[in-house]
């Protein structure tokens, strides 16, 4: 029984170390990312979420994104920051 508890304790310790490494990496990344890039990604992810929210709508019209004029203007304003961020993680736009 003691061996089982020691194994569980070790597993929790390893998982906690992994979570701490991940959170430290995220903190470092977010401190380097332009807030405009984060805002732009939020707008894009919100649009994707809205498009895939209704499964029946996606089946009828596969991932058709609709952006209103205000959203397009918002994205235009932060697009350079999004391109720079994408390049920093190896994505060429």
Cα–Cα distance for residue pair 51/58, rounded to 1 Å: 7
The residue range of the domain holding 37 is 33-93
Is residue 28 located within the same domain as residue 44? no
Q: Does residue 90 have a pLDDT over 70?
A: yes
- Looking at mean pLDDT, say which of 2-11, 46-55, 74-83 comes out highest: 74-83
Q: Are residues 38 and 61 in the same domain?
A: yes
Within 1-93, strands assigned E span none
**Digit-coded pLDDT (tens) for 33-78:** 777 887 788 888 777 777 667 666 666 666 666 778 888 888 888 8
Tokens 């807030």 appear where? 35
- Whole-number Å distance between alpha carbons of 45 and 30: 17
23 and 66, same structural domain? Answer: no
- pLDDT on residue 1: 59
Q: Give the residue among 63, 46, 45, 41 at the shortest CA–CA distance from 54.
A: 63
What pLDDT score does 51 carry? Answer: 67
39 shares its domain with 81: yes
Question: Do 54 and 26 fall within a single domain?
Answer: no
Same domain? For 63 and 90 the reply is yes
What pLDDT was estimated at residue 65? 67
């Amino acid at each position: 029984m003691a061996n089982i508890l020691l194994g569980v304790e070790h597993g929790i310790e390893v998982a906690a170390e992994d979570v701490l490494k991940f959170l430290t990496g995220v903190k470092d990344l977010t401190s380097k990312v332009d807030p405009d890039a984060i805002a732009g990604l939020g707008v894009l992810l919100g649009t994707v979420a809205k498009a895939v929210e209704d499964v029946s709508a996606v089946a009828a019209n596969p991932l058709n994104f609709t952006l209103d004029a205000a959203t397009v203007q918002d994205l235009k304003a932060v697009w350079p920051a999004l391109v720079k961020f994408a390049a920093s993680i190896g994505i060429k736009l």
